[in-house]
Structure 1
Amino acid sequence: MKSSPLEKVRSYVQRYQPDLEPILFEEPLETSEVAAHALGVEIGQIAKSILFRADDKYALFVAAGDVRIHSKRVKAALGTGKTKMASPEEVETVTGFRVGAVCPFALEVEVPIFVDRSLQRFSHIYTAAGIAESLLPVTYEALLQMTGAEEIDAASAE
């Protein structure tokens, strides 16, 4: 039997930080703003994970909730083709998570992961934990370790 997205995230996290647990909420956290309000933190502390595609290549970009990921940076990271955000169906197929609940690790398909340095300014950040009603509190260093990501400046202005 396939485990739930939340259980998949829990199981993955246990390998790195056995005492780390997702925070669960009664209602779905539809946006970074709603999630930040629910936790009483800055919008930037809510990490958004966005899947981009160039031709048949995918990559996941993780950035602070208050920044915009620049398409030129995405294109530079992916290297080829016209880049665009993946469709909701592609997101679920590649990550194993629905849009709005994409956890930046424990992905269904291995893809390059890029973590934007915009998240470094916070002692703790919150990623989705597989379902829209959950968030996972992590440090920037723990996020890098769990994702095996490359650090980039995807949100910097050009």
Structure 2
Amino acid sequence: MSKTTAATAALQKAGIAFDLHPYAYDPDAPRVGLQAAEALGVDPSQTFKTLMAEVDGKGVCVVVPSDGEVSMKKLAAHFKGKSAQMMKVPDAEKVTGFKVGGISPFGQRKTHPTAIDETAQLYDRIYINAGQRGLLLSIAPDDAAHVLNAGYVDVMAE
């Protein structure tokens, strides 16, 4: 497993501090983020998944707790759109340069408007995919928001 990915290279270039956390990736896990949290012994609400979606047909990135679901209505509203839907897997892999299960918000092939769920602010550090299956990184939420030019937003389904 490589410790340098497009995500870690982007953070290093930006001068952002982070720590790497490899874990045994289970491709058969029903929810990869929850499996990662369990493997690392981290609270699932502190482990964030990176999802690619489309708002009115335009790609966006949303970073949310692995134990929650995104409200497409709230996501569309945040990006001032009428409707939102999850991006199809092949499209998400193409625009990010990462494989599903290893998509990171950092170092994507194409920059997308990004939202981070507001609950990230509850933690000193959050865990996010480092751009490779079986590798998370921990980062200060404000550093993540800064480098992604992202706002904190309530995008979780009730």
TM class, shorter-chain normalised?
0.7 to 0.9
Structure 2 equivalent of residue 46 of structure 1: 47
Quote the residue 1:15 is aligned against.
Answer: 13
Deviation at 1:88, TM superposition (A): 0.6
Q: With structure 1 as the length reference, what TM-score do the two structures score?
A: 0.85
* Cα distance change of structure 1 residues 98 and 105 upon mapping to structure 2, 3 Å threshold: same
Deviation of 1:24 after TM superposition, in Å, equals: 2.2
Structure 1 residues 111 and 5, CA, compared in 2 at 3 Å: closer, same or farther? farther
Partner of 2:94: 93
Q: For 1:62, what is the secondary structure of its paired residue? A: strand
Deviation at 1:19, TM superposition (A): 5.7
> Secondary structure of 1:15's match?
helix
The whole-number CA distance in structure 2 between the counterparts of 1:146 and 1:62 is 13
Please give the alpha-carbon distance, in whole angstroms, between the structure 2 residues aligned to 1:129 and 1:34. Answer: 15
RMSD (Å) for aligned C-alpha atoms = 2.2
Quick one: percent identity of the two aligned structures? 24
Q: For the structure 1 residues 18 and 76, does the alpha-carbon distance in structure 2 shift closer, same or farther, using more than 3 Å as the test?
A: closer
* Aligned position for 1:151: 152
Larger deviation, residues 112-121 vs 23-32: 23-32
Kindly indicate whether residue 46 of structure 2 is the aligned counterpart of residue 80 of structure 1: no
Q: How many residues align?
A: 154
The 10-residue stretch of structure 1 (66-75 or 17-26) with the greater mean CA deviation from structure 2:
17-26
Deviation at 1:112, TM superposition (A): 0.3
Q: Distance in 2 between matches of 1:138 and 1:19?
A: 7
- Secondary structure (helix, strand or coil) at the match of 2:45 reads helix
> Are 2:119 and 1:135 equivalent residues in the alignment?
no
| TM-score normalised by the chain length of structure 2 | 0.85
- The aligned counterpart of 1:25 is 23
What whole-Å deviation, never above 9, does each CA across 1:86-106 have from its counterpart, x for those lacking one?
Answer: 011111111111111111111
SS in 2 for 1:91: helix
Unaligned runs of 5+ in 1: none
Name the SS for the 2:64 alignment partner: strand
Aligned residue in 1 for 2:118: 117
CA contact (8 A) 1:118 1:155 kept: no
Q: Distance in 2 between matches of 1:147 and 1:39?
A: 25
SS in 2 for 1:52: strand
Asked whether the equivalents of residues 7 and 108 of structure 2 are also in contact (C-alpha less than 8 Å), the reply is no
- 1:22 is displaced (CA, Å) by 2.4
